[in-house]
Structure 1
């Protein structure tokens, strides 16, 4: 890992071992790799019932009748509930727009929509009972794309919309529309010496997390319920769950259970309300665990997209303008589609200086599966298209594709198409230089003295080739991603920090509602506490709703925002500890009277390192506790007509070089290497940072050549809801991923850090596509690439 730029260790406080900047190990790491970690699906409770959900077998239909009598009569069944059995008038939920029914209300809008729920004493009993529920459907015309959604006779999927996006939508089947207009594209077109156009298709992906949806709801004596759940945002779940149950929020107590990955798929509710309803109805604990088939229907996916781009450039390679239109398929319910639209629009021109911009992005309501958050969140789809356009322009101008990008790269001080100034480092040209300078992997690695090593060839262990017809290609891409919630969202986090003496040793206790979904936040919080409080022992309490909201584990925001909250709370605790020390020991040493005191290694020391007192002696029987809210600087909504506004708090950048080998006869691809260079501001935990970059890169590889949820355009039914047919990269598909990390501090962020996890997912996909194009000479305007696209048999 290489580093450059201004050092970003701007820590105030200690240099205790295990602090900021060190590669400390995860406390849950060993348990996870040995299979001992307790995931939400492992929970158990005495006298527990099992819940199951009956889902719609059709994508769009009127529910004529539901007969639950035969299901309820089955031995071992304790409850069967439909929409009519819900306890309150609040029967819909949603992250932003409350348009999703808890159970279908007279109409289903997508394949797999929940229709009824069952609780029984055994999971198979619950499944058999659900199968005995008789539902009569009258199928309705389906809406699957922009043409069918906006046709004059299109069925309106959500009539009578009253959400705040509805007045700006040109059709009721359009969830949200965001234009970004700056300069004069028509005038700029006249200055262009070359113009390239492209139409691109981006497939629907699944988050494919390890642990399917699961949770345990336990009814309480006070009439409330305790829910143990794998989620990304405890307090957002709480806000949606409590009204449906008819309970105040303080009677719905939520605790984070072990999460087996998320990637956006756990931002929306899945079985949370269903488990609570059944627990309150039966008076018994109820556990629900999806199988993988149910999981494909139980959470949102990445928005598929159609993207139409036009770019112009002068003969010397300067970009003149970009005009684009992006159509995102949001599926049956809104989820986070409005925010995804905002990201795709505001980042749709990429990390380039372009003065004249005309961008329009819309998200549709259709009868396809609901789509929402997934790693990259709108910026991924746009990056795939604008990077293909950069290669087209470079080829038409006869320029090196990396040099063309560097010529037009934004930097600190550049102005975004939204009018926002980029006021922190934006080393786009440097990232491209670094990734291009990395040594290329050797040619023909499959050749050995014993013959071909098929593991290194396209097709791998299927032994389809020994090198005949295999061509190498190299491709580059770079992307820009926002960090944190945007467009005026009140993005904050809460941290409670306590410092006390236990067994004669000072201990810090950190309590937040941050969802640890595998990103390593629990490790970073302990590092922050050690750094700021000078202690070795740090206890991270389980995340729950007994502390204020930490916001969502998404948008690469948790280290920035919840880390910022932990840092701020620790600073306040430190000041209180020093004040106690001043009261007790100030008369013994004049240094106590100054403010230049630090906590380090369990002691109070001067900034010169002179020890004044042990922390255990300072605190004795006292304890100091602080709970504080921390916000990053505010953002503002984009103008609904022009898209202008300071909509984002921070930007992150990554560049990739892909090296692929393609069997042009069989259409098989082997990605040999995906090198990455990324600016992270400050690597709080270098080992974890590299892991995040490699993980995001691997997901981008999957999007390039494997992953796509296939939906039948005639019926809107999902055709491949299992890992038998929905393919994700395995260790045999994962290439070498060398990483070059830059640390250029963002002075506005805690420790100068920059969100890490999403940026590498953007640029890895178009880099792979660029490499395949270089190997084959094909245009390849859709992702993922399949063998038939490479052999001409599509």
Structure 2
């Protein structure tokens, strides 16, 4: 078989698709030289600060800003009354106030803004604002949200909620119904029922919210910002400022992590408002306390599941109800509900399904996008159920999963056919076949103990006498890209020119690089398609067409597709130029398939016809801009949940090995092995890094990460990294990875979104392993020591 153009280019162009090229920003980040948004500086800038509500639900009786304004060094104080135009924004529904308008609905809601010539001056001045509140009853769970006479958190929308939504305090409700659950239940040999709970997880990115707004001479503003979605920010900010979008120019600054927490606005509009009011540049940087209040979190969830199977282990029916706490404002809760509902059964074939998923308005912190986006919560519950059902049937839990695994051609509960590889059974086989780590690793030949290998770690709280090992498995399914009819696209512009006698490609998109590695992969695509070594990526800003959000595992798929399409257009133009200049001298120009390889135009047989620099010499740069869309999706039916809602599915399986000190309630995760189908590993090193990162966040949800909210008051108890725990290098286990590459014919290069699926399966795998070690039911995450010692075991 004749090699394809891509095969030839990979062989000849260093750093193309399939190569583990190093990140251009990697060295700068690990040495501390990378410029993050918090490092922004302007010669005459002011500092902005936000006054936030100390209550979860209260009426603002009065706001006295006189003393704050009189503070030396203060240049402006803004409240809701000072807003020049639109007063609300939001990703899907414009219901979040820019500044509180008479009522605060969650702890930490922005109430007023201060601009001063020093950050401490701004903080002290904000503390001088005299805010008088009248506390109101709080809504913190489904019972208090939907009870007769419950306070309506958005009374203006009470008569406008959709007919399928049962109560004004319900953001969105999505059923998925297929087959006949009652008839299937009557035939079931084994039925298991369980109630599960998932705590509120924070994205816990290390770089806080930060940005710099600079007023412009044309009356507009330039905003340099750490965000995930430049154009969505622009769409929300411009109406608030009362400006046309072309006068709000946004440029991406260094982003210190995101994971969904930067999809919604935080300080973007606030900094711009202060800059336009004062006529001075204004910088805002949240401290860690502010950051916990300044962005959305993962929806906490309560889930009720019922599974039934026949005598041979065939899954007969699944019935479930998923209640997500959306907090005070809509954010992306409707889409999270759609994901949770459509993926509620997991990667298992089942003909009889009855799912209800909904999200609530409460006075808890707003929740929205976080890595896994509704599928994480469902996966924890359905995987616990699969273990319980396997035990009820006397089957090996991995074998039971493999018997029921979906594959290419399977029909999802929404009626959508999986039309790409779905190697769920193979992933489970591979992850189970990996060798297990040795037991009692803290013991050495000399008899001394390696404390790092003990539950409790270097604090030496366990000596290993009562430590029990457990092994657990889980697999998950996650959609890729935006779903339910969203017009998901990206834009890319590519230029090829001769610089100092060498061909150089320049790629421009509005993609937000938040640490996922797009800056590496996008250059690799250009090298592959254009056959050149030198590729420059221009900064992302809103002067370029939208690239959508860096979320939903979509950027390599969609923006990569746009770059590939733009490169193809450039390549065709270059070949036209070459034929016009040199084609008359060689018959191969007309008869052979022409390739760009190593800065040259060659035939498919490898014969060099011309150098790219020679073709481009004396010519204007060759440039092309392309918009690329994946195939369309459609909304789920609001009564049945049927519909072609997703563009692609991704799958990952984990095996967790844990050691548990059951007397002290301590868990040591020894290993989290993962097998994942990535379609095509465009950069294998980056793929493994994404899997490791997602696995670690799943580990965090399993054993430590939770925002604690007082159920009586709605107040956040632990808004700091002192009290909100995240995994460190001492908590991170060995993470062997087995990568499959089964191409999806609908995607560029056959790739499949990578970065979310491992977050799903890591959490239930860890908990399954702890269950095996302890024999406890463990139906809530994160696990706490009291859950493991028998002093507080959830039912």
Common topology (TM > 0.5): yes
Tell me the distance in 2 between the aligned counterparts of 1:536 and 1:436: 41
Residues 554-610 of structure 1, C-alpha deviations (whole Å, 9 max, x = no match): 000000000000000000000011111111111111222247111010001111111
Q: 2:649 aligns with which of 651, 668, 671?
A: 651
Tell me the distance in 2 between the aligned counterparts of 1:34 and 1:317: 54
Shift of 1:10: 6.2
- Which residue is equivalent to 1:478? 475
Q: 1:528 aligns with which of 520, 525, 529?
A: 525
Q: 2:174 aligns with which of 163, 172, 178?
A: 178
- Which residue is equivalent to 1:3? none
Residues 615-636 of structure 1, C-alpha deviations (whole Å, 9 max, x = no match): 0110113211111100000000
- Which residue is equivalent to 1:737? 735
Tell me the distance in 1 between the aligned counterparts of 2:321 and 2:209: 35
Q: 1:491 aligns with which of 488, 493, 499?
A: 488
SS at match of 2:306: strand
Q: 2:126 aligns with which of 109, 130, 150?
A: 130
- Which residue is equivalent to 2:461? 464
- Which residue is equivalent to 2:68? 71
Q: Is the 8 A contact 1:50 1:286 kept in 2?
A: yes
Residues 743-768 of structure 1, C-alpha deviations (whole Å, 9 max, x = no match): 00000000000000000000000000
Report the CA distance shift for 1:210/1:645 in structure 2 as closer, same or farther (over 3 A): same
Q: 1:543 aligns with which of 533, 540, 545?
A: 540
- Which residue is equivalent to 1:4? none
Tell me the distance in 1 between the aligned counterparts of 2:411 and 2:90: 34
SS at match of 1:306: strand
Tell me the distance in 2 between the aligned counterparts of 1:126 and 1:160: 34
Tell me the distance in 2 between the aligned counterparts of 1:507 and 1:162: 58
Q: Is the 8 A contact 2:5 2:595 kept in 1?
A: no
Shift of 1:451: 2.1
Tell me the distance in 1 between the aligned counterparts of 2:365 and 2:78: 23
Tell me the distance in 2 between the aligned counterparts of 1:114 and 1:455: 43
- Which residue is equivalent to 1:625? 623
Q: Is the 8 A contact 1:383 1:766 kept in 2?
A: yes
Q: 1:663 aligns with which of 647, 661, 664?
A: 661
Q: Is the 8 A contact 1:97 1:163 kept in 2?
A: no
Q: Is the 8 A contact 1:182 1:358 kept in 2?
A: yes
- Which residue is equivalent to 1:231? 227
Shift of 1:8: 11
Answer yes or no: is 1:408 the counterpart of 2:393.
no
Tell me the distance in 1 between the aligned counterparts of 2:255 and 2:61: 38
Shift of 1:466: 1.6
Tell me the distance in 1 between the aligned counterparts of 2:162 and 2:708: 29
Matches within 5 A, 1:238-249: 238-249=234-245
- Which residue is equivalent to 2:511? 514
Matches within 5 A, 1:676-695: 676-695=674-693
Q: 2:334 aligns with which of 326, 332, 338?
A: 338
SS at match of 2:84: coil
- Which residue is equivalent to 1:747? 745
Answer yes or no: is 1:638 the counterpart of 2:636.
yes
Residues 613-659 of structure 1, C-alpha deviations (whole Å, 9 max, x = no match): 00011011321111110000000000000000000000000000000
SS at match of 2:738: strand
Shift of 1:792: 1.6
Unpaired segments ≥5 residues, structure 1: 1-6
Q: 2:416 aligns with which of 408, 413, 420?
A: 420
Answer yes or no: is 1:608 the counterpart of 2:605.
yes
Q: 1:321 aligns with which of 296, 317, 321?
A: 317
Give the TM-score normalised by structure 1.
0.98
RMSD: 1.2
Q: Is the 8 A contact 1:496 1:626 kept in 2?
A: yes
Q: 1:721 aligns with which of 695, 719, 722?
A: 719
Q: 1:382 aligns with which of 378, 381, 384?
A: 378
Unpaired segments ≥5 residues, structure 2: none
Q: Is the 8 A contact 1:8 1:744 kept in 2?
A: no
Give the TM-score normalised by structure 2.
0.98
Residues 142-164 of structure 1, C-alpha deviations (whole Å, 9 max, x = no match): 00000000011101101122898
Tell me the distance in 2 between the aligned counterparts of 1:754 and 1:767: 23
Tell me the distance in 2 between the aligned counterparts of 1:348 and 1:8: 41
Q: 2:387 aligns with which of 386, 391, 394?
A: 391
Report the CA distance shift for 1:594/1:488 in structure 2 as closer, same or farther (over 3 A): farther
Shift of 1:453: 1.6
Report the CA distance shift for 1:595/1:57 in structure 2 as closer, same or farther (over 3 A): farther
Q: Is the 8 A contact 2:516 2:690 kept in 1?
A: yes
SS at match of 1:274: helix
- Which residue is equivalent to 2:291? 295
SS at match of 1:168: coil
Tell me the distance in 1 between the aligned counterparts of 2:567 and 2:221: 33
- Which residue is equivalent to 2:104? 108
Q: Say which is worse superposed, 388-397 or 452-461, in terms of deviation.
A: 452-461
